[in-house]
Structure 1
Amino acid sequence: MNLRPKKSLGQHFLRDQNILRKIALSAGIQKGDRVIEIGPGEGALTEYLLSVSDDVCAVEVDPRAVELLRLKFLGLDVRHADFLSVELDALLEAGRQHVIIGNIPYNITSPILFKVMDAGPVFRRAVFLMQKEVAERLVARPGSKAYGILSVQAQLLGTVAYLFDVSRHVFFPKPKVESGVITFTPRESPLEVPTDQLKTVVRMAFNQRRKKMSNSLKSLIAEHKPDGVSFDLNLRPDQLTPPEFITLTQAIFEP
């Protein structure tokens, strides 16, 4: 039984067996890991995950897919839920290592990424198939066009690696864009600054990415350090490395 993809859910089903196998192996699933799959759809990737793990939890918003998965994989832990709305604690098991994996709908890629990155080391590793343009932003380096808010936050909150391209021709229906597979390993130690402060600085800086930070951060600095900061604000945000955003945040917020 195959599902008819729903455009409203951003469904593009991957049916290339070789790519599915590569994605499952990329997760580096170990004995005892609990695997959480986002948006399994028809269960093509689920089948490979079950071949390497006896504990897979599938989170699926489409009721048709939920019914199909329960028929296809007897005993599979299927949660009929929107991953963005579900409480992560409801998916996790105490004392277990967790791996999260999924073919993420293009229209909600960033919210899912931020939710996983903000969760910290509750996940040992994440593997995602996503729009190539977004995947390239995650690993972009300072000075590049793709470098921005997502790059800085991802690289500070963990280690990101771009694994391989996935052609749009292996999906049904074919999306208009190419895809890529990335891995994200969360950092184990907390950031040197509060996450909300860091996000404020990064967001404000890149909202006017072509301007010097003396302009884009002017109001924030006036509020917290009216006498100025010991940081070169003549730089543009895309000239700073992720760790330098930590230093900048400290310069603005710390006494």
Structure 2
Amino acid sequence: MPRATSEKFSRFHAPSAKPKSSGSGNVGTANPLFNVEKFGQHILKNPRVAQGIVDKANLRPTDIVLEVGPGTGNLTVRILERAKQCTAIELDPRMAAELVKRVQGKPEQKKLNVMIGDFVKAQLPYFDVCISNTPYKISSPLVFRLLSHRPIFRCAILMFQREFALRLVARPGDKFWGRLSANAQLYAKIDHIMKVGKDNFRPPPQVESSVVRIVPLDPPPPIRFEEFDGLTRLLFSRRNRTVHANLRAKGVYSMLEANYKTWCSQNDKTVDQSIDFKTRVEGILEESGFREQRPAKMDINDLLKLLHAFHENGIHFA
């Protein structure tokens, strides 16, 4: 995949075959030349849905917006009406050329910067708000790339496959509560704000979609993500089993022992060769009261308390 670049498009980026005009309307038409299935992009064609997504962002005239996967620009043109600037990251050069053509010669042209390449590999610019009709295959990388971005942005309005969105916003005890829910909600407040039917896209995807709002916590909790993710990876592998049962899985104790030795080495501590990790883990679970808890019903505070109890006793998950 090409590496993203901050260079603006010129006429030399245009495809050799002349694309079919999208007309003067706001919706735009996907060109047969565009391989939307290859790039995982389904073009949002309903202008009311596009306007609704941009409205939910509550854009300010001073905002710099990052848009991921703009396609032919049905969201972009509405962003440009309200924001100071929009940087759009598009993997398909032909889609990007269509987007540039759409604003060519208009006042909005000066406000648009197109980056050609893979969002996951791109060096992200500063932005206040992120808006995305997200290609399904980068849904999880996009969420955690945004949550790790600094400086912290104000909010993100993101469209995902319905099931992925429901996992993001799930609460303890819900059907979809799991590792993704806990890891994302550790760093942000996430709300479901809109359902979008498959008929609003060209070509229609095989699944329904939803739009979520992500507002990062500022400041973020002082928790090393790799540690929290290491714990949730173990607990939610079988979310309806008890914490004790999950931590008894094959290889867990040897992994914790290896992590302990690494931690001692990094912190100039002497390795205590007498530690029985099975006994220590079971003691921590008994003392903390989480032995018989089931991850499916544990909230963020429960997970943080359990992680803290392990750290207090020299047990690490990364």
State TM-score, norm by structure 1: 0.92
Gaps in structure 2 of 5+ consecutive residues: 1-20, 22-28, 104-108, 261-274, 314-318
Q: Which amino acid aligns with 2:129?
A: V
Q: Is the 8 A contact 2:44 2:50 kept in 1?
A: yes
Partner of 1:122, secondary structure, is coil
Secondary structure of 1:150's aligned partner:
helix
Question: Do the aligned partners of 2:152 and 2:218 also contact (CA within 8 Å) in 1?
Answer: no
Partner of residue 175 from structure 1, selected from 205, 225, 228: 205
Q: Distance in 1 between matches of 2:304 and 2:45?
A: 42
Task: Tell me, in whole angstroms, the C-alpha distance in 2 between the residues paired with 1:151 and 1:163.
Answer: 16
**Equivalent residue for 1:252?**
310
In structure 2, the partner of 1:216 is: 246
Q: Is the 8 A contact 1:121 1:188 kept in 2?
A: no
Percentage identity across paired residues of the two chains? 31
Per the TM alignment, residue 27 of structure 1 is displaced from its structure 2 partner at its CA by 0.9
- Does residue 62 (structure 1) correspond to residue 64 (structure 2)? The answer is no
User: 2:247 & 2:86 partners in 1: Cα distance?
Assistant: 45
Among candidates 111, 121, 126, match of residue 85 of structure 1: 121
Retained in 2: the 8 A contact 1:193–1:250? Answer: no
SS state at 2:190 partner: strand
**Distance in 1 (alpha carbons) for counterparts of 2:245 and 2:151:** 36
CA deviation map 1:145-189 (0-9, x unaligned): 100011111211110010010011111111111111100000012
Measured on the aligned residues, the alpha-carbon RMSD in Å equals 1.8
Distance across 2 between alignment mates of 1:241 and 1:121: 27
C-alpha distance in 1, partners of 2:297/2:291? 11
Secondary structure, in 3 states, of the residue corresponding to 1:44? coil
Once residues 240 and 57 of structure 2 are traced to their aligned partners in structure 1, the CA distance between those partners, rounded to angstroms, is 37
Q: Please report how far the alpha carbon of residue 130 of structure 1 lies from its aligned counterpart in structure 2 after TM superposition.
A: 0.9
- Answer yes or no: is 1:153 the counterpart of 2:180: no
Q: Which position in structure 2 is the counterpart of 1:164? A: 194
Letter in 2 for 1:118: S
Aligned partners of 1:121 and 1:187 also within 8 Å: no
Q: Residue 35 of structure 1 contacts residue 55 of structure 1 at CA under 8 Å; is this kept in 2?
A: yes
Indicate how the Cα distance of structure 1 residues 61 and 240 shifts in structure 2: closer, same or farther if over 3 A, else same: same
Q: TM-score, normalised by structure 2?
A: 0.74
* Equivalent position to 1:47, from 70, 74, 77: 77
For the pair shown, the structure with the greater C-alpha radius of gyration is 2
Whether 1:105 aligns to 2:141 is no
* Structure-2 change in CA distance of 1:147 and 1:121 (3 Å): farther
Aligned residues: 249
Does the 8 A contact of 2:90 with 2:115 survive in 1?
yes
- In structure 2, what is the equivalent of residue 202 of structure 1? 232
Aligned to 2:24: none
Contact 1:201 1:217 in 2 (8 A): no
Q: 1:236 to 1:155 in 2, by over 3 A?
A: same
Of 121, 124, 144, 2:174 maps to 144
- What residue is the counterpart of 2:298 in the other structure? 240
Task: State how far apart, in whole Å, the 2-side matches of 1:13 and 1:249 are.
Answer: 42
Question: Could you report, residue by residue, the CA deviation over 1:224-255 in whole angstroms, capped at 9, with x for unpaired residues?
Answer: 58323132121111110012111111111234
Deviation at 1:79, TM superposition (A): 0.6
CA-CA distance at 1:222 after TM superposition: 5.6
Asked if the contact 1:192/1:246 (under 8 Å) is kept, the reply is no
Task: Letter of the 2:294 partner, please give it.
Answer: R
